[in-house]
Amino acid sequence: MIVTGILSGGAICKKLCSLQNINFYDFIIISAVAGSLGFAGAKLFFLFDYYGASNFFKVLDQMLFHPKTSGLISGGFVFYGGLLGGFAGYFIGVKIARTGLTTFLNTFAFAIPYVHAFGRIGCFCAGCCYGIEHHGGFSIAGRFPVQLVEAFLLFAFAFFAFFTIRKKNHLFFLYILYYSFIRFFLEFLRGDEARGRVSFSNGLSFSTSQILSLILFTADLILIIILLIKKAKNDKVGVKDI
């Protein structure tokens, strides 16, 4: 399913690059590097999250040197690990392509949620990342279809980005804000146990993804505020110059 997302998303991104007058082949280079490190990050985060810090290097050794017998290569990924790995890959890819740091951010604001949505549909079909037990409306096989809800919300942002890509300057930062917000609440509707949890002394308990959502939301909101303040100051200086 995710292959369908990558292929169809790539075709759409070619059109988006043309609309923005940016080089599609540079986008491919950056995507290849970001995708590779994103894959590695998603897998490493899963191993750390699922097996714990004490067993991390043991299972990593099994995955690298006994890939067939361990079965750790296929399945088991954490999206936020992929996102953070993709960040690192993006910076490296930009250096390789010798292009501007922010040139392709808006395009990725479409590409990431678009492909991710297909991935969530794949999760639904495979029966992983399933929702809580639910027998009311929208129930599917006695579970809440949280994967499909997330896919719908991701598609919604992807197409918002598609239709506003030439008007919005900070779509990628809006995407991070949007996704971290919805992911925090969607985690309450998850019923699978294949993810770590963080418990606090007051009895509160959050999943690892919820903690990362809070961190990313806060950091991204601060960054957006800084960018808006900077833009307001630049606009004010521009008015004075006139």
H or E element in which residue 113 lies: helix 105-126
pLDDT tens digit string along 224-240?
Answer: 999 888 878 877 766 54
Q: Which sign does the torsion angle of CA 219, 28, 4, 72 carry? A: negative
Read off the pLDDT of residues 112-125 as tens digits, 9 standing for 90 and up: 999 999 999 998 99
Residue 166 has a pLDDT of: 81
**Residue 241 pLDDT level (bands cut at 50, 70, 90):** very low
Query: Across all residues in the chain, what is the average pLDDT?
Result: 88
Mean pLDDT on 42-70:
81
Cβ–Cβ < 8 Å for 133, 56: no
- Alpha-carbon gap, residue 237 to 188, rounded angstroms: 46
Query: 202, 221, 199: which is closest to 211 by C-alpha?
Result: 199
Encode pLDDT of 105-115 as tens digits.
999 999 999 99
- Quick one: pLDDT at residue 63? 82
Q: What is the pLDDT of residues 178-203, one digit of tens each?
A: 999 999 999 999 988 766 677 777 77
Can you give the pLDDT at residue 242?
40
